[in-house]
Chains A and B, each alone.
Chain A
Amino acid sequence: MIDELELLRDRLASWSGDNLTFMEVCGTHTMAAARSGLHSLLPPKIRLISGPGCPVCVTPVDYLDHALALAKLDGVTIATFGDLMRVPGSVVPGSIDDTSRAAPPSLADARARGADVRIVYSPLDAIALAARYPERHVVFLGVGFETTAPILAASILIARDQELDNFSMLSAAKTIPEAMEALANADDLALNGFLCPGHVSVILGANAYLPLAENHGIPCAIAGFEPLEIMRGVASLVGQVQSREARVDNCYPGAVCPEGNRKARETLYRVFEPADSIWRGLGKIPGSGLALRSEYSVFDASARFDIALPKPVEPKGCRCGEVLRGVLKPEGCGLFGTTCTPEAPRGACMVSSEGSCAAAYHYTTGERR
């Protein structure tokens, strides 16, 4: 393995063409690259930057505000994946959080103040909670990309089969190819290739990226999660640039096939339909979100509960948006490592287990202010 890594490193080091910028759009790739120090294996002419691959990070702050408002309701149990627990909601102007400059409230804070918020590994656990405690209404926070979205759909079907009337989902699932298209069109990013996500591609299939290669002329490579597999993906992209090709190279063929997981996609679109969606850092991307179909509205927490929400306020000085677009490195944000740390995060990128800022904070050995 080390031999092949060294071979790939040497092959990349021999690249003598223009500077190349590749983007990965998968939070697990962000973390794997940072944790393994992969960037130190790349020569100065080849950069692998992080894009909006972290579903928690690209979810706008009003989603957290909505979850926090639901958490305050009597009889409501919030069930969530772990990495949403410490993401901050909006700072309310004039509140103690605003004046004390402490980090704004999160679900973890809400729990500390008495709200019933539980971390679950799967939406099935949330369904089990609803079944076990019929006097409580369980709201599951459904955030994720195409790896997670079919799971949200399958869970709603299971809840329907169990005839649960005390379970709903606050859904903010998104789909990645539209965002990649927006990034391919962005004037300030001249991307030479995409490292495509691992498990999103299991669901979507390699063919989903053909429009990027064929219509935009952008080389694509699908990679697994080990540093060796990521390096193979980068090497494929360099090879494509070298031979002036743009195709979709599946470097994760054990798990990803051209057609993807059709059953998962059928399940997904039985329950959800495409909708416009706002991505932190990218703005509104048409058709990139997933909304519950009207026949499942009984499982839609935003329909079940009518709550007045505060106007969303992004944290002052927070540059998550630019980091997510790949135009700013985490260290370039004025809050990085000083006012914004994993212990007291200002924005989602610092606290999410897949956030670029968290990866930079935990794994780079560079100076911190």
Chain B
Amino acid sequence: MCLAVPMSVLSVSGDHGRVRSAGVEMDISLALVEDVHPGDYVIVHAGFAIQRLSAEDARETLEIFARLEKSLADDSSR
């Protein structure tokens, strides 16, 4: 149930934000977080951002995902 992928914030309008991850874009509510700006990352659950992450904080999780993806790609090309 927990969507653990940090999603990147494309735009903010009041309590609403447009976010993207892995080519998927969606509109979410920012009612439960503060100070979110385009370029930040957010953790999204059931249509709401529940935490803001700086790009630095998001980096490690994104790096783990990138390495996982690469190792899966390497496995399947063998």
Asked whether A and B interact, the reply is yes
**Using Cβ atoms and an 8 Å threshold, which residues of chain B touch A158?**
29, 31
Does the CB pair A255–B46 fall under 8 Å? Answer: no
Does the CB pair A124–B45 fall under 8 Å? Answer: no
Shortest distance between the CB of A142 and any CB in chain B (Å): 10
The answer to the question of A298 belonging to the interface, with a C-beta cut-off of 8 Å to chain B, is: no
- Inter-chain CA distance A124–B31, complex, in Å, is 12
* B46 interface neighbour in A27, A148, A263, Cβ under 8 Å: A148
- Inter-chain CA distance A81–B1, complex, in Å, is 9
The answer to the question of B22 belonging to the interface, with a C-beta cut-off of 8 Å to chain A, is: no
CB within 8 Å for A154 and B48 given contacts A199-B43, A202-B43, A254-B53: yes
Does the CB pair B50–A264 fall under 8 Å? Answer: yes
- Inter-chain CA distance A144–B43, complex, in Å, is 17
**Using Cβ atoms and an 8 Å threshold, which residues of chain B touch A124?**
29, 47-48
* B50 interface neighbour in A28, A81, A147, A225, Cβ under 8 Å: A147
Shortest distance between the CB of A188 and any CB in chain B (Å): 29
* B47 interface neighbour in A28, A122, A264, Cβ under 8 Å: A122
The answer to the question of B64 belonging to the interface, with a C-beta cut-off of 8 Å to chain A, is: yes
Interface string of A218-232 (1 = CB under 8 A from B): 000000111011000
CB within 8 Å for A1 and B48 given contacts A154-B32, A261-B33, A267-B31: no
The listed residue with most A CB atoms (<10 A of its CB), out of B1, B32, B48, B53, is B1
Does the CB pair A261–B32 fall under 8 Å? Answer: yes
- Inter-chain CA distance A194–B74, complex, in Å, is 35
A203 nearest in chain B by CB position = B50
Main DSSP-derived SS at the A contact region: helix
**Using Cβ atoms and an 8 Å threshold, which residues of chain B touch A26?**
2
- Inter-chain CA distance A199–B45, complex, in Å, is 9
The answer to the question of B57 belonging to the interface, with a C-beta cut-off of 8 Å to chain A, is: yes
Does the CB pair B64–A199 fall under 8 Å? Answer: no
The answer to the question of B34 belonging to the interface, with a C-beta cut-off of 8 Å to chain A, is: yes
Does the CB pair B31–A154 fall under 8 Å? Answer: yes
* A267 interface neighbour in B32, B60, B64, Cβ under 8 Å: B32
Does the CB pair A148–B45 fall under 8 Å? Answer: yes
CB within 8 Å for A121 and B46 given contacts A1-B68, A27-B1, A264-B32: yes
The answer to the question of A125 belonging to the interface, with a C-beta cut-off of 8 Å to chain B, is: yes
**Using Cβ atoms and an 8 Å threshold, which residues of chain A touch B48?**
122, 124, 150-151, 154
The answer to the question of B58 belonging to the interface, with a C-beta cut-off of 8 Å to chain A, is: yes
The answer to the question of B61 belonging to the interface, with a C-beta cut-off of 8 Å to chain A, is: yes
Shortest distance between the CB of A4 and any CB in chain B (Å): 10
A199 nearest in chain B by CB position = B2
Shortest distance between the CB of B22 and any CB in chain A (Å): 16
Does the CB pair B47–A83 fall under 8 Å? Answer: no
The answer to the question of A300 belonging to the interface, with a C-beta cut-off of 8 Å to chain B, is: no
The answer to the question of A354 belonging to the interface, with a C-beta cut-off of 8 Å to chain B, is: yes
**Using Cβ atoms and an 8 Å threshold, which residues of chain A touch B51?**
202, 255, 261
- Inter-chain CA distance A226–B62, complex, in Å, is 11
Besides A122-B46, A151-B50, A263-B32, 18 more A-B contacts (Cβ < 8 Å) are A1-B71, A28-B2, A123-B46, A124-B47, A125-B47, A147-B2, A151-B47, A154-B31, A157-B31, A199-B4, A199-B43, A202-B51, A203-B50, A229-B64, A254-B57, A255-B43, A261-B51, A267-B32
Binding site for B on A (CB under 8 A): 1-2, 26-28, 81, 83, 121-125, 144, 147-148, 150-151, 154, 157-158, 198-199, 202-203, 224-226, 228-229, 254-255, 261, 263-264, 267, 353-354
12 example contacts (A-B, Cβ-Cβ < 8 A) are as follows A28-B1, A122-B48, A150-B50, A151-B46, A151-B50, A154-B31, A202-B50, A226-B4, A255-B51, A261-B32, A264-B50, A354-B1
Q: Which 6 A-B pairs have the closest CB atoms?
A: A122-B47, A254-B57, A264-B32, A28-B2, A122-B46, A225-B4
